[in-house]
Amino acid sequence: MENTGSAAASTSAGTTVTAGAAGSSGSSSSSSGTSAGSTTGSTGSGATGTGSGAAAEPTTGAAAKAGGTYAGSVVQTRFGAVQVQITVKAGAITDVEALQLTDDDRKSIQISNRAAPLLKAEVLAAQSADVQTIGGATVTSDAYLSSLQAAIDAANL
Amino acid sequence: MRARTFNCMGTVVSLTLPSTSGADELVAATAVVEQLFAGLDEAFSLYRPDSEASRIARAEIMLPDASEDMRRLYADAAGWRLVTEGAFTPERPDGVLDLSGIVKGHAIQEAGTSLLALGLRDWCLNAGGDVLVHGSPVPASAGDGTTESGSPAPGSGQPWRAGIVDPADRRTLIAGYPLGGPPGAKLALATSGSAERGDHIWTAGAGRGSGSVAGGGRAAPAFRQVSVAAADIVTADVLATAIVAGGLPMLDRATDGWEIEVLAARTGGELLATPGFRR
């Protein structure tokens, strides 16, 4: 359900979420409410690997050590164009900022394109009398004779 | 509609045209498709001892000396292995080169190209359950003056309606999916699974859980059947196979990385689907 593009944002969001969970203590199933107050610090910081740093343009190693701000190249993803900028201080990345993050309409559609559990009644339905062709794991020549596709073909031969 | 069938690659191939097409048009088109399938089967079948693929398997020919078709398809398959992180592979666990996972999709794709080259805009090609269509079963052209040759716009009428068999009961359908019709619609639907031919897909060790790809171990497959709709049949076919082999992690990689719709039936019978499969 989540997307790599939002990785940077989740750093700060993480703290907020943790605070919320602590407040509602009893409702959370995994952390069971006991030590909710004390764990806040560690949860917030642990999550970030800043995977987006990889996109930054490696100007030179020396320049990076000196520090500064570096804009990565624009990368085309299937969600649209993405560009990030990193801030380096004393040889370490201290900040990652998205300069360009896909246009919102497409993103919101595409990010939800993961497969989710569905009841049979929620799937696009079809009756064999109402379709023109049948998809399925490969049918052997022998099995074809008794298949739905054979019935459809026979009706049109 | 009019349909014709022929046997090839151990299965049956069906070509269907709208009723408005001529009978001889269908006969001629089927002949072209059949010839193309037969040619590829002759070279790539591991069931034929005299095929080029069998000779490579026996190390009588080295891959660099193989035909251009063989090398090109191997390169395609190796490329897919890379982008699916090993879930799709052109080699059997015993190391024998096996391009059968891609050759049927390739044959369908080539056949589709030939049908378009013949000037046919509306057709449905089904090879053993993998489907590629173009246009519509009811071309809208009849009253539009775009009837005959010339206008390249495919019938923007109704889509071809494909049904997907229930792996638990192959006489019934678990879902439907529209292919073709309006411009931009997906044209290909491929399904992989262990329902019909036994466990012909080698799962990639990590059938469940961890995303890493282990060597050729066989884990219990997480999915009994996986259908993928895509713009082209090779992508649909390869990804359906990869998801069966690579389990849930590969399913997520596939939906994140490609413009596809997926309907996956878990071994327990539950369904997972992308929004395009929702009614």
ipTM of the complex: 0.85
| Digit-coded pLDDT (tens) for B70-93 | 999 999 999 999 999 999 999 988
Give the span between the Cα atoms of B11 and A141, in whole angstroms: 4
**Domain boundaries of chain B, sorted by first residue:** 2-277
Tokens representing B134 are 């173009």
**Set of chain B residues whose Cβ sits within 8 Å of the Cβ of A147:** 165, 170
Q: Give φ, ψ of B211 to 5 degrees.
A: -85, -10
In percent, the amount of chain A with pLDDT more than 90 equals 11
Q: What's residue A111's pLDDT?
A: 54
Does residue A106 sit in the same domain as residue A63?
Answer: yes
Comparison of pLDDT for A80 and A152, the residue scoring more: A152
Does residue A37 sit in the same domain as residue A58?
Answer: no
Does residue A76 sit in the same domain as residue A111?
Answer: yes
| Digit-coded pLDDT (tens) for B132-179 | 999 999 987 544 444 444 444 444 589 999 999 999 998 999 999 999
**Set of chain B residues whose Cβ sits within 8 Å of the Cβ of A82:** none
Does residue A86 sit in the same domain as residue A130?
Answer: no
The most confident of A1-10, A124-133, B7-16, by mean pLDDT? B7-16
B153: CB partners within 8 A, 6+ apart: B146
Place of tokens 């044959």: B107
Query: Which range marks the domain in which residue A142 is found?
Result: 118-157
In percent, the amount of chain B with pLDDT more than 70 equals 85
Domain count of the fold of chain A = 3
Q: What's residue B202's pLDDT?
A: 54
Does residue A25 sit in the same domain as residue A55?
Answer: no
CB contact under 8 A, A139 and B196: yes
Q: List the one residue out of B38, B45, B249, B276 whose CA is nearest residue A122.
A: B276
Q: Is the pTM of this model over 0.90?
A: no
> Which residue(s) pair with A85 in the sheet?
A71, A97
CB contact under 8 A, A126 and B175: yes
**Nearest Cβ partner for A126 among B4, B163, B196:** B163
In terms of CA atoms, which chain A residue is nearest residue B259?
A: A78
Does residue A68 sit in the same domain as residue A112?
Answer: yes
In terms of CA atoms, which chain A residue is nearest residue B269?
A: A120
In percent, the amount of chain A with pLDDT more than 70 equals 48
Q: Establish if A76 touches chain B: CB-CB under 8 angstroms.
A: no
Q: Is the pLDDT of residue A106 over 70?
A: no
Round the average pLDDT of chain B to a whole number and report it. Answer: 87
Does residue A6 sit in the same domain as residue A42?
Answer: yes
Does residue A102 sit in the same domain as residue A76?
Answer: yes
Tell me which of A31, A49, A67 is where a domain ends: A49
> Which residue(s) pair with B97 in the sheet?
B91
In terms of CA atoms, which chain B residue is nearest residue A121?
A: B279
Q: What's residue B141's pLDDT?
A: 56
Q: How far is B130 from chain A (nearest CA, A)?
A: 6
The CATH class, in words, for B2-277 is: alpha beta
Q: What's residue B150's pLDDT?
A: 44
Q: Is the pLDDT of residue B217 over 90?
A: no
Q: Report helix angle A7-23 to A36-46, nearest 10.
A: 180
